[in-house]
Amino acid sequence: MRCGPYSRCHNPRRGIVWGVFFIAIGVLALLNNLHLLALGDISRLWPTVFCVIGVRKWLNPFRPWSRFISGAVFMLVGIGWTLQNFGVIQLSASLLIPIVLILAGVLAIGRAFQPHPHRWGPGHDFEAMTRTQQEDVVHVNATLSGVSLRCLSQDFKGGELRTLLGGIQLDLRQASITSRAELRVSAVCGGIQIRIPQDWLLQVQIAPTMGGVEDKTVPPPSPEKTLVLVGEAVMGGIEVKN
């Protein structure tokens, strides 16, 4: 899947979840009707729909912190309700409601630390607190926070961007490189946006894990400068534009 770190897009894996769900329910119903499996009233499985919704939320790579918590809530409700329908456990509202409230509180706290997305383009540049540097190497670590950095180096050599439950915006439009630079990136439950000059060629060497990497650059006709991205995107998103 290729998708920007803050944009909505179609994730085929999320559609597959529903397909697998309906196939599984159909197989269980068939085995039950053939008396090869004793499930009794198959309609008692209907709360598993909440589990499917929870899994779909987990497969969304963007805003992963809130998606993970809300997905956990749906999974908890689905599994608990299903087990109760089959008499495995006995849940009461006095037990379930406090658990849901605790998870909702954790979700609210997580969202408070999430950096707000900023659009690129005229009138929508980096946030007001963008930091500017002249150094040839960038090192940014954003954990539960958002960082905006503009690099003006005329001999950019690369560096490292790491975010955990946060966001990074790096502006390289006014920078330059001699021939080749390597930038290591790591987006774990977070998002990274990079803007590069139009005369740079981008090479992406990242294998996302439940995440997304989107190359929105237009390759130059005669590339003489190359930026190589290496690293990881684990339940996170990376987007590059020029």
| CA angle in degrees (0–180, nearest 5) for 202-205-210 | 115
Q: What is the pLDDT at residue 152?
A: 92
Interatomic CA distance for residues 135 and 151, integer angstroms = 7
Q: What are the structure tokens assigned to 220, written together?
A: 């130059």
Q: What is the pLDDT at residue 97?
A: 66
Per-residue pLDDT tens for 147-162?
A: 889 999 999 999 999 8
Beta bridge partners of 188: 164, 234
pLDDT band at 108 (very low <50, low <70, confident <90, very high): low
Interatomic CA distance for residues 164 and 147, integer angstroms = 12
Per-residue pLDDT tens for 168-223?
A: 899 999 999 988 999 999 888 778 999 999 999 999 988 787 678 888 898 888 88
Beta strands in 155-236 (DSSP E): 158-164, 167-171, 180-188, 191-195, 200-206, 212-215, 225-234
Q: What is the pLDDT at residue 9?
A: 47
The residues, ordered by sequence, that sit 6+ positions from 223 with a Cβ below 8 Å of its Cβ are: 199, 200, 201
Q: Say which residue, 238 or 21, is predicted with more confidence.
A: 238
Interatomic CA distance for residues 154 and 28, integer angstroms = 64
Per-residue pLDDT tens for 19-68?
A: 777 788 788 888 878 877 777 777 777 788 888 877 777 766 555 555 66
Per-residue pLDDT tens for 114-135?
A: 544 444 443 444 444 678 888 8
Interatomic CA distance for residues 23 and 7, integer angstroms = 31
pLDDT band at 92 (very low <50, low <70, confident <90, very high): low
Q: What is the pLDDT at residue 121?
A: 41
Q: What is the pLDDT at residue 120?
A: 40
pLDDT of 113 > 70? The answer is no
pLDDT of 77 > 70? The answer is yes
pLDDT of 80 > 50? The answer is yes
Provide the angle, in degrees to the nearest 10, between the axes of the packed helices 64-85 and 48-58. 160
| Residues 157 and 177 sit within 8 Å (Cβ to Cβ) | yes
Q: What is the pLDDT at residue 66?
A: 57
Interatomic CA distance for residues 167 and 165, integer angstroms = 7
